[in-house]
Chains A and B, each alone.
Chain A
Amino acid sequence: MAFLEIKDLHVEVAGKEILKGCTLSIEEGEVHAIMGPNGSGKSTLANVIAGNPVYKVTKGSLLFRGQNMLEMSPDERARAGVFMAFQSPVELPGVGIAQFLKTALNEKLKSMGKPELDAVQFIKRLKTRAQALNISDAMLKRSVNEGFSGGEKKKMETFQMAFLEPDFCILDEMDAGLDIDALKTVSDGINVMREKTRSFLLITHFQRLLNYIEPDYIHIMIDGQIVHSGDKLLAKSLEEKGYDEYR
């Protein structure tokens, strides 16, 4: 049984078919990257895995650890271990970061039949994960993403992931808008999470991110399908030759 098994997935948004038979399989502990031109359907795939109701699956299957994800609500998928770092996260004015993460973690623990964290344990976990990503106490006091710069939003997504410790992490364009220092901080935050039991799907259209986070496999998505897969060397050849030979 594969960790994540996507077969012949067809997905529509606003009446238009975006994914046109996407097939992808990821094993436990692996890091996969999907590269592809703008508009090829990479974010659509990420959103479908996370369960965004805007995207309608018309055909195909999506199994996570053998469970049929298509029958699960987005929150059930998250509690089962799926996490997506959004390409463009929303701002939630008036929703404090601590309250937000406490609710998320406690609901997950409750669903696993584990006790909730008490206030001391919670603060400790929040602070240690924040420090590792250079997130200040002042920033933790703010509302989720409200008024954050592009780079701060990416950091906040990575921080949430580090805090919630999901088993399957989807990172949609984590490198977009990050300067080199921030890219390094975010990449370090992701790399320390690499474990035998945790898998990653990195979405990017630049090779740059893959210099910091080395994937096991790279897939090329063109027009809603994975048209080619290879190892990490593929990124270099894409950088030089572009996507034309795969179109």
Chain B
Amino acid sequence: MNTDNILLIKKGDVITQRHISDQYMTFEPNASEPLECFLLVFKGDTQIQVNLKEEGATCLIQALYLIDKDHKANIDIKISHLGRDTKSSQIIKGIATDQSKVSFFGNIYIDNNAQKSDGYQNHRALLLSDDACVQAVPALEIYADDVKCSHGSATGPLDENALFYLLSRGISSKSAKKILLESFVSGMIPTEYNSIIQQWIEDHV
């Protein structure tokens, strides 16, 4: 299976794919062309810096990491709100299994010139083995007073109650885990790439 990380940039209805590995990317979207990007990470370092300079500039980042074996992944996303009325939204989800180690750093910086800005970040991770480890370090640096900014993070194993519910309907443990993992990742990456994700899940339940 191809385990290169994938970065997808969406402009209107057009999605372009960039293969990436261990690299630093920086984006500076303007107000007329919001940045919408999707990231699928299997290992290694990924750094994304987004500068929202122009008034009204926005970005949406959805990142999904699927990490196995003894792989390490460092995901570092920094959003700098520099202009007024800028908006960012980051949704990060991940599944870590085996002895993998994941660090997620999510930074939202709001400059004192970036009044009326709105920064949102949510991170959720599932651990499929006791030896897998996910460390999430969110950081908010806010220097303007009239802004909205929120973040949340949750890491844990599959919900036992949900799993038991599926089993109690006669669904095998493998299928039940698959159903829960697929619902967890659904909507994270454009559907054209579903098969890669489904295959990964299939191989890890």
Nearest-CB residue, chain B, relative to A170: B168
A-B contacts besides A86-B168, A104-B170, A104-B171, 5 pairs, CB < 8 Å? A51-B168, A52-B168, A74-B164, A89-B165, A92-B165
Measured CB to CB, the closest approach of chain A to B143, in angstroms, equals 36
The answer to whether B167 touches A51 (Cβ under 8 A) is yes
Contacts of B171 in A (CB 8 A): 75, 78, 100, 103-104, 107
Chain B 149-167 per-residue mask, 1 if CB under 8 angstroms from chain A, else 0: 0000000000111101111
The answer to whether B164 touches A107 (Cβ under 8 A) is no
Q: Is B16 an interface residue (CB 8 A)?
A: no
The answer to whether B162 touches A90 (Cβ under 8 A) is yes
Sorted nearest first, the 8 A-B pairs with minimum C-beta distance are A94-B183, A78-B170, A74-B167, A104-B169, A75-B167, A79-B170, A108-B170, A90-B161
Q: Is B184 an interface residue (CB 8 A)?
A: yes
* Residues of B that sit less than 8 Å from A by CB: 159-162, 164-173, 175-176, 179-180, 182-184, 186-187
- 27 contacting pairs across A/B (C-beta < 8 A): A52-B164, A53-B164, A54-B164, A74-B164, A74-B167, A74-B168, A75-B169, A75-B176, A77-B168, A79-B170, A86-B168, A89-B165, A90-B161, A90-B162, A92-B162, A92-B183, A94-B184, A94-B187, A95-B179, A103-B179, A104-B170, A104-B171, A105-B170, A107-B170, A107-B172, A143-B183, A160-B169
Give complex CA distance A84, B42 in Å.
39
The answer to whether B167 touches A73 (Cβ under 8 A) is yes
The answer to whether B175 touches A78 (Cβ under 8 A) is no
The answer to whether B161 touches A50 (Cβ under 8 A) is no
Contacts of B180 in A (CB 8 A): 92, 95
Give complex CA distance A54, B180 in Å.
19
Nearest-CB residue, chain B, relative to A84: B168
Nearest-CB residue, chain A, relative to B164: A52
The answer to whether B162 touches A164 (Cβ under 8 A) is no
Measured CB to CB, the closest approach of chain B to A194, in angstroms, equals 21
Give complex CA distance A89, B168 in Å.
11
Give complex CA distance A232, B95 in Å.
52
Contacts of A52 in B (CB 8 A): 164, 168
Give complex CA distance A54, B169 in Å.
17
Contact of B169 among A78, A93, A94, A143 (CB under 8 A): A78
Contacts of A53 in B (CB 8 A): 160, 164
Measured CB to CB, the closest approach of chain A to B153, in angstroms, equals 18
Contacts of B167 in A (CB 8 A): 51, 73-75, 78
Give complex CA distance A143, B166 in Å.
13
Measured CB to CB, the closest approach of chain A to B43, in angstroms, equals 26
The answer to whether A75 touches B165 (Cβ under 8 A) is no
Measured CB to CB, the closest approach of chain A to B122, in angstroms, equals 14
Measured CB to CB, the closest approach of chain B to A101, in angstroms, equals 8
The answer to whether A90 touches B172 (Cβ under 8 A) is no
Contacts of A95 in B (CB 8 A): 179-180, 183
The answer to whether A100 touches B169 (Cβ under 8 A) is yes
The answer to whether B172 touches A75 (Cβ under 8 A) is yes
Contact of B165 among A54, A86, A99, A107 (CB under 8 A): A86
Chain A 157-197 per-residue mask, 1 if CB under 8 angstroms from chain B, else 0: 00010001000000000000000000000000000000000
